[in-house]
Amino acid sequence: MPHSTKPAAGKPPASAPTVQLFGYEDSQPTRAALRFFKERRVEVSFVNLRQRPIAPGELRRFVERLGAVALLDPASKPYGDQGLQYLSLDAAGVVDRVLANPRLLRLPLVRHGNDVTAGPAEAAWRAWLASPS
């Protein structure tokens, strides 16, 4: 009887890259990112921010690698409502505001190992998938 090396149905091979994705189900960029990874059969750990807020330590990881301002979505309604375009906030101030209102985030937040992105970043995601982890 021939031996099959095919992975279990629906499961990526053990060496397949995995990503952690933070966002809202009703966010178009989040849905697009989920679709991007699903089409490439990448295992995604999706964290729905409506059900579970981002942990302060996880948020700091994104701030350290991208900078606090890169995490803010200037097109979001809360950003305009809070007048953030007129404020100069340090990293701690941005973290405090985002923890109080995660809708300020530029979504999706995606983490692959030590690499992170904020917002749609298909070029970076393609690079992650092309390089061996």
pLDDT digits (tens, 9 = 90+) for 66-118: 999 999 999 999 999 989 888 888 888 989 999 999 999 999 999 999 999 99
CATH of the domain at 65: 3.40.30.10
pTM here is 0.83
Rounded Cα distance, 23 and 119, in Å: 10
User: Strand pairing of 43-48 and 18-23?
Assistant: parallel
Instruction: List pLDDT tens digits, range 35-74.
Output: 999 999 999 999 999 999 999 999 999 999 999 999 999 9
Q: Is residue 43 situated within a structural domain?
A: yes
Angstrom distance (rounded) from CA 38 to CA 127: 16
Query: Domain containing 87: what range?
Result: 18-130
Residue 26 lies in a domain: yes
Secondary structure element (H or E) that encloses residue 47, with its range: strand 43-48
Task: Work out the pLDDT band at 18, boundaries 50, 70, 90.
Answer: confident
Count of structural domains, the chain: 1
Residue 39: name the closest of 125, 133, 120, 132 by CA: 125
Cβ neighbours for 114, distance < 8 A, ≥ 6 positions apart: 65
What interhelical angle do 91-100 and 56-66 show, nearest 10? 140
